[in-house]
Amino acid sequence: MGENKRRMLAGEWYLPDDEELGADTERRFALCAAYNANGGAPAGERAKILAELLGSVGEGVRIRPPFQCDFGRYISIGDRTFVNFNAVFLDCAPITIGSDVQIGPNVQLLTPIHELATERRRAGWERAAPVTIGDNVWLGGGVIVCPGVTIGENTVVGAGAVVTKDLPAGVLAVGNPARVIRTLEI
């Protein structure tokens, strides 16, 4: 593993325009294109593509195309999770999704953090922080989960919410930025 990729996975500042990362991107591009083109193919064929694309895929996972990611190999999805149309998972750091998770259409799970200083941003520097989604979470349509966020199990995030900070288990959160409005009965 090259130094730039090591820095990326360690959450340190790295440059994404790198030969090694570019090769990973080409791999992902081909696999996402195959998966998205095979939306009508038998579930077994789509499952094989997902198994090659993603780091780990549990039993009974369903992802409706189109689906996009940065690398794929840093995404882990638990059993029986459903991901609706137009999901974007930018996995420059690990994205861990539990079992029995429901993810609405147009949801974005984002791990990259871009430099704020003008010159470094222009040069392309970024770093990444992991995203973790607990078991039995429901992310409504259009939810955006920002870098470094953990969402506790059994939590529901309302449509269009932008999650900028960790959410505890068993709550309903809505808004931009997402805020807890009540505890859920479990």
Beta partners for residue 182, in sequence order: 172
Q: Of 137, 143, 141, 65, whose CA–CA distance to 96 is shortest?
A: 137
Token pair for 17: 């325009």
Catalytic residues: 114
Number of other CB atoms surrounding residue 40 within 10 Å = 8
CA-to-CA dists, residue 102 to 6, 10, 81, 133, 138, angstroms: 32, 29, 6, 10, 5
CA 27, distance to chain mean position in Å, is 17
What lies within 8 Å, CB to CB, of 176 at 6+ separation is 160, 161, 162
Phi, psi of 74 (to 5 degrees): -105, 20
155 in Cβ contact with 134 (< 8 Å): yes
Asked whether 96 and 76 are in contact (CB, 8 A), the reply is: yes
